[in-house]
Every structure is written in structure tokens, then in C-alpha cells.
């Protein structure tokens, strides 16, 4: 019997009672499970034990969402310490129920690898209960992240009973869920959340995690509008077709961005300070690396979207090539990490036609015309109009998902930046309340990375598609860079030709997970 089973039998022997002799509602019962199995894409059957509908707080406000499911593979990984994948399905900052695992995403893959999976539900912008005949919105910020932190605490609290190591929790989510994952990674044990978690009756345990996997995190919400306009402003009169009022808002927002960039004090891998003046070169480096790796993997990229290439004219496939924009930082072939295709990711390919013929051993990407590339991104999926996030009441009345999640318990959406309040057509004198400032602060992982009071995850896997326009490239780049500057183990990449999506290229993700366990 291993130490976990021994501890489990001692606790069960005590009848899962708490100190006062009452049944403990947060105590996990290892014997209360059903069984199930997944058929993986290759036909393999992955059998598991399912523990479903477990409440993770004592003071349940919303029984639809404040539950979690745990799946334990029949064949546990043959390693000393088995990790737990905590996958949130939060999207659009809405509520999310505890789901069952899927053969085609990271949950199924984790079970196949012999890892334990936890899928918590959480309240969100649209979750409601009826109290005294009144509809109450239960999931406005920061309640969603509080629920997910309570789920982490539940895993720790029951460490001796739940298979897998609660010291090896990997959080995973996409988009708003990617933002939640980044918050779980950045805000471990941060005192700001403590009074709320106590009030909810969360388990008395730590809530820091080992690793955060964040696909296209829609985060840094109080700077996301300026970051969007600073980057995409170059398309305003072109592919974006903005009207005069929109251009004016776009320009004003963009003008606020340089001081924000400079305030971050970020450094590149060589230790050079990144400022608003050199930021675009920094961004180009990531895009060039992405394009280069795609070419190495056999994908074709036309030079019409802003990239230029060095094509060895002496080689067997050589020929004069290379569009405008030469002079960017070149990347020698072989720097890209080679990976097999056919691993669940959408194959990055453009039609042949005008694509240069690329020789993997001698050719490389020399540069990128950023404005041209951004216009290309905007031509694939129309950009958001300014302000992209805190939009309600500025030029249009419609609330964004972010306005909704910062709303109140009556379901009224709210602005969350000084800028948008100042530009409201109805009441430009409205001010950001102290309470709203605090809620916005608690929803931004950037505030906790170099914050001594929070325990930041040591390991980070961050992806944002190279043609994902749901937020500015600055958002994931700043997050990854700030973490790297804080000494964290960060695996960051902008996968080529990838739109807003998550849990792709699972071979890549799971080999990274394995690497962090060594």
C-alpha cells in the first residue's frame, strides 16, 4: 500500500467526519465512482473512474456551476508523481458547467497518458439564481476565478484521497478560459482573494498551481483596448474601414499605449529593455520565428502577406524571391523546433500559387512588413471595432463579454476602464468606483507576477495563433515576457496560420508537460 492509500484508509476509517464530528461536505469519497471510457481518435479505449458533481465549496450559491468532476484513468502513468490536469471550459467569460472528458482535447489525452483530470464548473457572466423571487446574477467578476481557485483548494484538501499529486496541477483553458488559467497560475494564495474564498466556504488549503497552460488568453482587460488600437491602427483606413468617430477613438486609445508598454520594463532574452520604440521589432521576431517553423514543416507561405524570404539561388530549387520588407532580423534554418504533422493541429497551408519554393536547409525568412501582415490578419477575420473590449456606451450601446462579466448582480453590464467611462456619450463624468478598480485588478494576472504575496506557477505554456485577432499580440507577449523576466519556465509561441482556438497540437503540449515533470 502506498502512502496515499494508507492515508486514505485512515481518513475513511474516521468516517470522513470533521473535527466537530460532523460529516465533512468537502471530503472526497474514493469509493463513490462510476466507470466510463473514451474512444481515442486512433481507436484506443481509455477507461476511467468518474467522480462527478462534487461540490467544492461549503456555502454553495449556485449548485449548477459550483461542482467539479474528477476522472482517474484505469492505467495510471507509471511515474512516481502523477500530475492532475485541471481543464476549465470557460468561454466568453460565461458560466461553465463541470464537463465530461473529450477524446479530442487535452482531457482525453491526459487520461490516455495516465494523468488525473479535473473539470470544474464555475459561475460566469450569465449564471443566475432566483432569490426571494428575484433573479440574481451570481458570476460577475471575480466570482469565476474564485470558483476555480476553490476547486484547486478542494484538490489540495483531498490530496491524500484523490489519486494524482495536488502539487502537480496543470491548469488549462482557452480564450476567456485561457485568461482564467493565467489567473490560476499567477494568483496562487494571493491575499486579495482570501476573504472571498473564506466566505464561500472554500477548503482551507493552498491554491497555487504547478503549471498554467493558456491558449489565447483574453486578459490584461484594462489595457487590452489600447493594445489593440496601437497594433491594428495601421488598418483603420484600409481593410478595417473605420468611420471618423471610430478613428478618433482608435487614435486616442493608441496614444495611451506607449506609456503602458514602457511602464512594464520588460526585457528580451538578451536582457535588452523593450520599449514602445522597439516593441514592433520584438513582435516581428515572434512572427518570423513562427513563419520559419511553418516553412520548415513544409507549409507554403505567399510573399503577398508581408513576409520576405532568403531563397538560395544556387540550390536545386532556387530562384529569385523575397518581397519587400527585407532587413528584418533573419533566422537561420535549423533554429525552429521540428515537429511531426498530423497531431491534431490544423495543417498550416496556403494554396501554392504565389508561394516561394522553400528549401529547408538553405532558405529562411528574412523579414516581415508588419503593417501588411496585420492587414492580412484583419482580412481573414474582421477586427473588433474600438474600443474592442470596454465598448459599451462609447460608440455602440452593446455590451461586450467583458462589460457583462464586470456587471452587477442585477445583470446590468458595466464599463471597467477610465477611458470608456470618459468617452461615454450619456455621462462622461462617471468615474471608476474603487470597488470596480479592485475587481479589475483581481482579474488581471499581470498584477500578480512580480507580487511577493502571490505564489506564481513555475511553469507556463502560452499559445496565441499568428492570425488570432481576438486580442492584440501584445497581450500574450507581455504576459509571457513578464513571466520569463520573473525567472519562470515559459514555453511561448505564436503558431502559424492559427486562428482563435485551443488544445491543438497536443503532442507538443504533452511533451512539454512531460519535460516539466523531470
Q: Which residues bind ligand DHB (CB under 6 A)?
A: 91-93, 175-176, 218, 401, 470
> Shortest gap between Cβ of 182 and ligand DHB (angstroms)?
13
Q: Which residue has the cell 520559419?
A: 292
Q: Which one, 218 or 266, has the nearer CB to ligand DHB?
A: 218
Q: Which one, 93 or 310, has the nearer CB to ligand DHB?
A: 93
> Shortest gap between Cβ of 425 and ligand DHB (angstroms)?
22
> Shortest gap between Cβ of 214 and ligand DHB (angstroms)?
12
CA distance 53 to 166: 19
User: Does a cis peptide bond (omega within 30 degrees of 0) precede residue 219?
Assistant: no
CA distance 198 to 145: 14
What spatial distance separates the first Cα and last Cα of the chain, rounded to whole Å?
A: 24
Q: Which one, 176 or 480, has the nearer CB to ligand DHB?
A: 176
CA distance 475 to 456: 18
∠ CA 156-160-166, rounded to 5°: 35
Q: Which one, 225 or 508, has the nearer CB to ligand DHB?
A: 225
> Shortest gap between Cβ of 245 and ligand DHB (angstroms)?
21
| SS3 per-residue string spanning 498-518 | CCCCCCCCHHHHHHHHHHHHC
Q: Which one, 91 or 114, has the nearer CB to ligand DHB?
A: 91
> Shortest gap between Cβ of 219 and ligand DHB (angstroms)?
10
> Shortest gap between Cβ of 381 and ligand DHB (angstroms)?
10
> Shortest gap between Cβ of 487 and ligand DHB (angstroms)?
29
Distance of CA 492 to the CA centre of its chain: 12
> Shortest gap between Cβ of 108 and ligand DHB (angstroms)?
21
CA distance 44 to 112: 9
* Of 301, 310, 349, 304, nearest in space to 328 by CA: 310
DSSP conformation letters of 199-236: HHTB-SS----SEEEEES----HHHHHHHHHHHHGGGT
Q: Which residues pair with 233 in a beta bridge?
A: none
- Residue closest to ligand DHB (Cβ): 175
Q: Which one, 93 or 157, has the nearer CB to ligand DHB?
A: 93
The β-bridge relationship of strands 67-73 and 45-55 is antiparallel
Q: Which one, 150 or 216, has the nearer CB to ligand DHB?
A: 216
> Shortest gap between Cβ of 119 and ligand DHB (angstroms)?
17
Q: Which one, 147 or 470, has the nearer CB to ligand DHB?
A: 470
Contacts of 468 (CB under 8 A, 6+ apart): 216, 498, 499, 500, 501
Quick one: cell of 449?
507576477
Q: Which one, 69 or 472, has the nearer CB to ligand DHB?
A: 472
Quick one: cell of 338?
521540428
Please say whether the beta carbons of 322 and 311 come within 8 A: yes
> Shortest gap between Cβ of 389 and ligand DHB (angstroms)?
6
CA distance 186 to 183: 5
Please say whether the beta carbons of 90 and 109 come within 8 A: no
Q: Which one, 304 or 381, has the nearer CB to ligand DHB?
A: 381
- Burial of residue 339 (CB within 10 Å: 0-12, 13-18, 19+) is middle
> Shortest gap between Cβ of 348 and ligand DHB (angstroms)?
21
CA distance 76 to 349: 37
Please say whether the beta carbons of 261 and 474 come within 8 A: yes
Q: Which one, 92 or 407, has the nearer CB to ligand DHB?
A: 92
> Shortest gap between Cβ of 403 and ligand DHB (angstroms)?
10
Q: Which residue has the cell 504547478?
A: 210
Q: Which one, 62 or 220, has the nearer CB to ligand DHB?
A: 220
* Of 272, 241, 236, 237, nearest in space to 254 by CA: 236
Amino acid at each position: 500500500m502506498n502512502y496515499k492509500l494508507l492515508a486514505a484508509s485512515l481518513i475513511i476509517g474516521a468516517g470522513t467526519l470533521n473535527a466537530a464530528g460532523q460529516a465533512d461536505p468537502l471530503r472526497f469519497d474514493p469509493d463513490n465512482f462510476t466507470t466510463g471510457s473514451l474512444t481515442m481518435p486512433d481507436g484506443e479505449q481509455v477507461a476511467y473512474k468518474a467522480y462527478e458533481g462534487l461540490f467544492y465549496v461549503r456555502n454553495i450559491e449556485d449548485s449548477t456551476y459550483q461542482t467539479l468532476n474528477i476522472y482517474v484513468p484505469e492505467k495510471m502513468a507509471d511515474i512516481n508523481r502523477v500530475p492532475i490536469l485541471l481543464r476549465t471550459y470557460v468561454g466568453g467569460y460565461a458560466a461553465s458547467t463541470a464537463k465530461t472528458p473529450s477524446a479530442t482535447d487535452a482531457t482525453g489525452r491526459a487520461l490516455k497518458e495516465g494523468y488525473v483530470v479535473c473539470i470544474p464548473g464555475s459561475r460566469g457572466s450569465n449564471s443566475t439564481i432566483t432569490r426571494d423571487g428575484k433573479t440574481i446574477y451570481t458570476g460577475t467578476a471575480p466570482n469565476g476565478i474564485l470558483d476555480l481557485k476553490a476547486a484547486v483548494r478542494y484538490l489540495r484538501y483531498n490530496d491524500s484521497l484523490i489519486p494524482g499529486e495536488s502539487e502537480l496541477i496543470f491548469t488549462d483553458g482557452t480564450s476567456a478560459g485561457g485568461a482564467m488559467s493565467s489567473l490560476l497560475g499567477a494568483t496562487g494564495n494571493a491575499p486579495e482573494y482570501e476573504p472571498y474564498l473564506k466566505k464561500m466556504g472554500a477548503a482551507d488549503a493552498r491554491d497555487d498551481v504547478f503549471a498554467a497552460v493558456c491558449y489565447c488568453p483574453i486578459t490584461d482587460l484594462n489595457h487590452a483596448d489600447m493594445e489593440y488600437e496601437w497594433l491594428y491602427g495601421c488598418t483603420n483606413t484600409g481593410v478595417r474601414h473605420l468611420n471618423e468617430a471610430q478613428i478618433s477613438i482608435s487614435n486616442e486609445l493608441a496614444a495611451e499605449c506607449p506609456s503602458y508598454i514602457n511602464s512594464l520594463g520588460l526585457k528580451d532574452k538578451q536582457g535588452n529593455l523593450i520599449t514602445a520604440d522597439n516593441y514592433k521589432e520584438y513582435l516581428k521576431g515572434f512572427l518570423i520565428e513562427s513563419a520559419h517553423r511553418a516553412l520548415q514543416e513544409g507549409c507554403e507561405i505567399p510573399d503577398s502577406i508581408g513576409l520576405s524570404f532568403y531563397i538560395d539561388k544556387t540550390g536545386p530549387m532556387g530562384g529569385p524571391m523575397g518581397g519587400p520588407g527585407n532587413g528584418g532580423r533573419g533566422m537561420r534554418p535549423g533554429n525552429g523546433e521540428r515537429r511531426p504533422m498530423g497531431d491534431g493541429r490544423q495543417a498550416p497551408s496556403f494554396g501554392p500559387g504565389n508561394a516561394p519554393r522553400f528549401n529547408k536547409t538553405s532558405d529562411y525568412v528574412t523579414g516581415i512588413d508588419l503593417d501588411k501582415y496585420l492587414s492580412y490578419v484583419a482580412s481573414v477575420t474582421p477586427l473588433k471595432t474600438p474600443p474592442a473590449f470596454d465598448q459599451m456606451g462609447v460608440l455602440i450601446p452593446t455590451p461586450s463579454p467583458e462589460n457583462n462579466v464586470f456587471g452587477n448582480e442585477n445583470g446590468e453590464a458595466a464599463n471597467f476602464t477610465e477611458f470608456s467611462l470618459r468617452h461615454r456619450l450619456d455621462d462622461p463624468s462617471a468615474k471608476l468606483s474603487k470597488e470596480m478598480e479592485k475587481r479589475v485588478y483581481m482579474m488581471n494576472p499581470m498584477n500578480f507576477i512580480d507580487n511577493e504575496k502571490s505564489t506564481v506557477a513555475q511553469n507556463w505554456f502560452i499559445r496565441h495563433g499568428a492570425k488570432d485577432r481576438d486580442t492584440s499580440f501584445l497581450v500574450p507577449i507581455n504576459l509571457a515576457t513578464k513571466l520569463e523576466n520573473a525567472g519562470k519556465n515559459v514555453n511561448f509561441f505564436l503558431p502559424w496560420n492559427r486562428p482563435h482556438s485551443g488544445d491543438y497540437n497536443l503532442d507538443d503540449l504533452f511533451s512539454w508537460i512531460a519535460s516539466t515533470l523531470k
